[in-house]
Amino acid sequence: MDWSFIGQHIPDYLSGAGVTLRFGLYGVGCSLLVGLICCLCRYFRVPVFTWLARLYTELARNTPLLVQLFFLYAGLPRVGVKLSADACAVIGLTFLGGAYMAEAFRSGLESVDQTQKEAGECIGLTRGQNIRYVLLPQALATAVPAIFANVIFLIKETSMFSVLAMMDLMNVADTLRTSGGRTVEVLFMLAAAYLLILMPVSLIAYWVERRLRYAGFGDQRPV
Amino acid sequence: MQVSGISVLFKGINFQRLLGGLWVTMRIALITIGLSVVFGLLFGLLMLSKNKVARAFCRLWLEIVRFMPQLVLLYVVYFGFARLFGWDLSGESSAVIVFTFWGTAELGDLIRGALTSIPAHQRESAAALGLTSRQIYRYILIPQTVRRLLPQAINLSTRIIKTTALVKMINVTEVLKVGQQIIGQFYRQPDAAFWVYFTIFLLYFLICWPISLLAGKLEKRWA
Amino acid sequence: MQTMLKVENVVKSFDGTGVLKGVSFTLDEGKVIVIVGPSGCGKSTLLRCINGLEQVDSGKIYLKDELISGRTRDMHLVRQKVGMVFQSYDLFPHMNVMQNLLLGPTKALRKNGEEVRREALAMLRRVGLEGKENALPRTLSGGQKQRVALVRAMLMHPELLLLDEITAALDPEMVSEVLNVVIDLARDGMTMAIVTHEMRFAEAVADQVLFLEDGMAAESGPPEQFFHHPQTERARRFLRSFSYESKNSRKEKQDE
C-alpha cells in the first residue's frame, strides 16, 4: 500500500465525497417530499392522482436507476428535453427514491389504526389537521427504520452518477485508476470513503430508532 | 423526410440484439439468485448458531454489504482482485461473485428474521398436541417461515435483476451497451437514442413488474 | 323543549347487506337515549352515521334544524358540535393526556390554550384524574383512558355526545368508574345517544330506550316500560339473554 499516494489524493476524494453527499442529500430531500405526496394521494384516494401515484411507484421500483439515468441523460435530449447532468442526477435519484419513500410512508400510515383517524375526525379536526397532528407523527415513528434504510440505499446509488460525467467519489476513483494504475490504493480509499459517509448515517439511524422505541407509544387496542 | 427513431428498433435484428443483451444480465441474475438461495440458507442458519465467531463473521459480512455500493464491490473484484491476487476474472464471473456475496447476506438475514419472528408458543402449542419435533418443523414452523420469507425473497430477486444492469460498468456487453452500439450505427437518426433507452426501460419493467406483483399478492394473501 | 337530534328513516347497507333498514327517532335537548340490541343489529352503525363516519344510503339526520347527513364537505364543522367516544378509547398515543385534551379545542376551535388548559385541569379533577395531565396514554389503565377520552370529547362543548359501547373493552372493576362519569354528565343536562350492553346503567341513565333488531327499531319507549313491561317478544327474549332483572323485579321477588 502506497501511503504517500493515498495522502496525496485525499483532497480529490474529499471533493468527490462532497459531490456524492450533496447530491445524495438533494435526492433524499426531494424523495421524501415526492414520497409523502404520493403516499397521501393514495391514502386519501385522491381521484386520478391515486392512479398516477400507483403507476409512478410501479415504474420507478421496477426499473434500474442506471437505465433511468441513461434515459434522462442520453435519451431525452434527442427529443428536445435537455437537462444538465446535475438536474439528471437529482431527478433520477428522486424518481427512484420517491417511490421507495412512498412505500415506507405507506406502511407507516397503514400501521396507524383506522380508529385514530376517526378519533381525530370526531374532535372536529380538518383533514389537514388530522394528518399533521394525529396520523403523520405516528406513521413517521413506525416508518423511521425504513426511511433510514432508504437514505443509505440512495446515497449508495449515487455511485452511478459517474455515467453523468459527474465527479462524485466513484468517478474520482475511476479517473485515478485509469490514469495512475494504482488500483489497490484507489479502491481502498473509495471503500473507506463510502464507509466514512454511511457509518454516521447508520449511527444516527440507530440513535433515532432507539429513542423512538423508548418513547414507544404502547399498544392502544383493547386486548 | 424524418422517420421516427422508433423504426430503428425494427431494422434488421436490432430488437433481437437488445433481447440478447438483456439475456446476458438475466443469466447473471438467475445464477446469482440460485447461488444466493443455497448460500443464504447456510448464512441464515449460521446467524442463528450459538457460535459467537460465526455470528460476528456474518455480522461483518452483512455490514460490508450494507455500506458498500454494489458498484464499488464490482470494481474491487473486477479491477482490484486482478491487481491483488493476479486473478483475471471476466466481467460476468466478477458480477456473479459480487451479487452472490450481496444476495447471500441479504437473503440470509431475511431467513433469520423469518425464523425468529415465529412466536415461541407456536412451537409449544404444537408440542402440546403431541407432535414430534420433525412434525413440528414439517407442519408448523417451516410453512410459517416460508410465508413470511417468500414475498420478501421475491422482492430481493427483482432487486438483484435490476442491479445486474451495473455490469455495463465493468465492460460486459449487456443491453445498455448493445443499445449504445445500435445508437452509434444509426447516428443519422437523432431520436434513436430516446427510443432505444425507452425500450430498455420498458423491457426491465416488463420483467420486474410481474415479479413484484406476485410478491405483493403473496404478501397480502399470507399477511 | 327543543329537538336536538332527529333521525328520519335512515337506511345503510354494506356490500349489499342491509345494516340499517329505516330507523327513525328524535331526541330532545338535555335528554339521553340509550340504544340497545343484539350484536350486529346496527347500533354502532347508527351512531357512526350520525356524526358522518359512515354516509347514509338514504334518510335524513338533523342536528337542531340543520341537515347533517349526506354532507361530505365541512363535516368537521358538524363534528365540532357532536362529540363521540369509542370502545377502544383511541387516545393519541404520541401525546400526553393534556396534549390529547388540548388538540381539539386549540386546533379545531382555535381557542386560547391557557383557558382550555385551566378548564381541562378542572375536568380532570372532576373525573378523578388529578395529576395525570402529563402521563402518556400507555401508562394509564383502561378505565382512566376512557375517562380521559370522555373529557377530551366534553372539552369541545358538544351539543350532542355519542357513546359507542365505551365500557365494552374494560375490565369489570373499571366499568363503574367510567359509567359514573356518564351519569354525572346526564345529571348536568348533557344530550347523549348511548350504545351499551350494561342494562342496569341503561335503565339508570336513559330517558328513552330504542331497541334495535336486525336494522329496525323493534321497540322504543321510556325505560320503565322497556325494562319492566317490554311490549314485544323479541325485547323480552333479548332482556332474558342478559338474565336482566331490574331493581323493581328483584324487589318483587324479595317481597314474595
**C173 within 8 A of C141, measured Cβ to Cβ:** no
Q: Are strands C82-85 and C160-164 parallel, antiparallel or unpaired?
A: parallel
Q: Which amino acid is at B17?
A: R
User: Would you place residue B11 in the very low, low, confident or very high pLDDT band (cuts 50, 70, 90)?
Assistant: confident
Least-confidence region, from A138-142, B139-143, C140-144, C154-158: B139-143
The mean pLDDT of chain C is 90
CA-to-CA separations, B97 to A159, B70, B73, B83, in angstroms, rounded: 19, 11, 10, 17
How does the average pLDDT of chain A come out, rounded? 89
Partners of C53 in beta bridges: none
Residue A222 pLDDT level (bands cut at 50, 70, 90)? very low
What pLDDT does residue C254 have? 52
Looking up residue C213, the CATH number of its domain turns out to be 3.40.50.300
CATH number for the domain spanning B72: value is: 1.10.3720.10
Distance in Å, alpha carbon of A177 to nearest chain C alpha carbon: 52
Q: Name the nearest CA neighbour of B113 among B150, B155, B138, B69.
A: B150
- State pLDDT tens for residues A82-124: 889 999 999 999 999 999 999 999 999 988 888 999 999 998 8
Does the pLDDT value for residue A220 go beyond 80? no
CA distance B141 to B128: 15
Distances (CA, A) of B20 to A63, B103, B174, C150: 18, 24, 8, 68
A217 CB neighbours in chain C (<8 A) are 93-94, 136-138
B18-68 per-position pLDDT tens digit: 999 999 999 999 999 999 999 999 999 899 888 999 999 999 999 999 999
Stated as kind and residue range, the H or E segment containing C67 is strand C66-67
Residue in B69, B165, B176 nearest the CB of A194:
B69
Chain C: residues touching A (Cβ < 8 Å):
51-53, 75-77, 79-84, 86-94, 103-104, 107-109, 136-139, 142, 152-153, 156, 168-170
pLDDT digits (tens, 9 = 90+) for B82-112: 888 888 889 999 999 999 999 999 999 999 9
Q: Do chains B and C touch (3 or more CB pairs under 8 A)?
A: no
Contact C108 A125 (CB under 8 A): yes
Beta-carbon separation of A119 and C92 below 8 A? yes
What pLDDT is stored for residue B111 in this prediction?
A: 92
Kindly give the pairing relationship between strand C208-213 and strand C216-221: antiparallel
Judge: A67–B176 Cβ closer than 8 Å, yes or no.
Answer: yes
pLDDT above 50 (res C256): no
Angle between helices B52-67 and A136-157 (to 10 degrees): 80
Residue among C226, C160, C233 nearest C192 (CA): C160
Domains of chain A: 12-214 (1.10.3720.10)
- Nearest partner of C46 among C191, C203, C215, C166, judged by Cα: C215
Residue among B66, B25, B46, B49 nearest B178 (CA)? B25
Burial of A22 (0-12, 13-18, 19+ CB in 10 A): middle
Closest residue to B176, CB basis, from A63, A70, A76: A70
Helix ranges (H only) for B117-191 are 120-128, 133-135, 142-163, 175-185
Q: Rounded to the nearest 5 degrees, what angle is found at the Cα of A133, between the Cα atoms of A130 and A136? A: 85
What is the DSSP code (8-state) at residue B3?
A: P
How far is it, in rounded angstroms, from Cα C232 to Cα B96?
Answer: 78
Q: What is the arrangement of strands in the sheet containing C58-63, beginning at the earlier edge strand?
A: C17-28, C3-14, C58-63, C66-67
Contact, C22 vs C59, CB < 8 A? yes
- Touching check for A157 and chain B: CB below 8 Å? yes
B2 versus C164: the higher-pLDDT residue is C164
The rounded distance, in Å, linking the Cα atoms of B141 and C238 is 45
Burial of B45 (0-12, 13-18, 19+ CB in 10 A): middle
Facing C79 at nearest CB: one of A124, A217, A220: A124
Selecting from A115, A129, A219 the residue whose C-beta is nearest the C-beta of C86 gives: A115
Q: Nearest CB to A123: which of C87, C89, C108?
A: C108
Q: Is the pLDDT of residue C155 over 80?
A: yes
- Residue keyed to cell 448460500: B39
Query: Mind listing the pLDDT tens digit for each residue in C88-132?
Result: 889 998 899 999 999 999 988 899 999 999 999 999 999 999 999
Determine the residue of chain B that is closest to A69 in CA distance. Answer: B197
A59 to B205: CB separation less than 8 angstroms, yes or no: yes
With contact defined as 3+ CB pairs under 8 Å, the chains touching A are B, C
Residue A161 CA to residue A88 CA, distance in Å, equals: 9
pLDDT above 80: residue A136: yes
pLDDT class of C16 with cuts at 50, 70, 90: confident
In order of A192, C150, C181, C182, C189, the CA distances from C209 in angstroms are 75, 22, 20, 16, 17
A107 touches chain B (CB under 8 A): no
Chain A and chain C share a number of CB contacts under 8 A equal to: 93
Across the interface, whether the CB atoms of C109 and A119 are under 8 A apart is answered no
Does A76 sit within 8 Å of B204, measured CB to CB?
no
| Contacts with A216 from chain C: Cβ below 8 Å | 138
Interface pTM (ipTM) of the complex? Answer: 0.87
Q: Which among B145, B127, B146, B147 has a CA at the least distance from the CA of B135? A: B127
The upper half-sphere exposure of residue B192, i.e. CA atoms within 13 Å in the direction of its Cβ, equals 19
What is the identity of the amino acid at B119? P
Does the pLDDT at position B213 exceed 60? yes
In angstroms, what separates the C-alpha of C209 from chain A's closest C-alpha? 24
| Cβ separation B197–A198 shorter than 8 A | no
Of A68-77, B30-39, C68-77, minimum mean pLDDT range: C68-77
Q: How many domains does chain C have?
A: 1
Predicted confidence (pLDDT) per residue in A155-211, tens digit: 999 999 989 989 999 999 999 988 877 888 899 999 999 999 999 999 999 898 888
| Type and span of the H or E element at A201 | helix A183-214
Give buried/exposed letters for B1-32 (b at 16+ CB in 10 A, else e): eeeebeebbeeeebeebbeebbebbbebbebb
In the structure, what pLDDT confidence band is assigned to residue B1 with cuts at 50, 70 and 90?
A: very low
pLDDT value at residue C250: 52
Q: What is residue B5's three-state secondary structure?
A: helix
Touching partners of C (3+ C-beta pairs < 8 Å): A
Mean pLDDT, residues B119-130 taken together: 82
Decide if A217 and C75 are in contact by the 8 Å CB cutoff. no
Contacts of C169 in chain A (CB under 8 A): 222
Interface of A with B in 173-202 (CB under 8 A): 173-174, 177, 183-184, 187, 190-191, 194-195, 198-199, 202
Contact C84 A138 (CB under 8 A): no
Contact A75 B196 (CB under 8 A): yes
Domains identified in chain B, total number: 1
Judged by a CB distance cut-off of 8 A, whether residue A136 touches chain B is no
Average pLDDT, chain B: 89
Instruction: Say if B134 is an interface residue toward chain A (CB within 8 Å).
Output: no
Q: Is B76 on the interface with A (CB under 8 A)?
A: yes
Within 8 A by CB and 6+ apart from C56, the residues are C10, C11, C12, C20, C49, C69, C70
Q: A and B: touch, per 3+ CB pairs < 8 A?
A: yes
Cα torsion for A33, A37, A40, A45, to the nearest 10°?
A: -170
Domain that holds residue C76: 3-255
Is B158 an interface residue toward A (CB < 8 Å)? yes
> Cβ–Cβ of B84/A184 closer than 8 Å?
yes
Nearest to B201 among A63, A163, A198 (CB): A63
Measured in angstroms, the CA of B80 and the nearest CA of chain A are apart by 6
Instruction: Identify the DSSP state of C12.
Output: E
Structural Rg of chain A based on CA atoms: 21
Which three cell numbers mark A205? Answer: 439511524
Closest-CA distance, A160 to chain B, in angstroms, reads 8
Q: How far apart are CA C220 and CA C231, in angstroms?
A: 9
In this prediction, residue C84 carries a pLDDT of: 93
Instruction: Tell me the residue range of the domain where B36 lies.
Output: 5-222
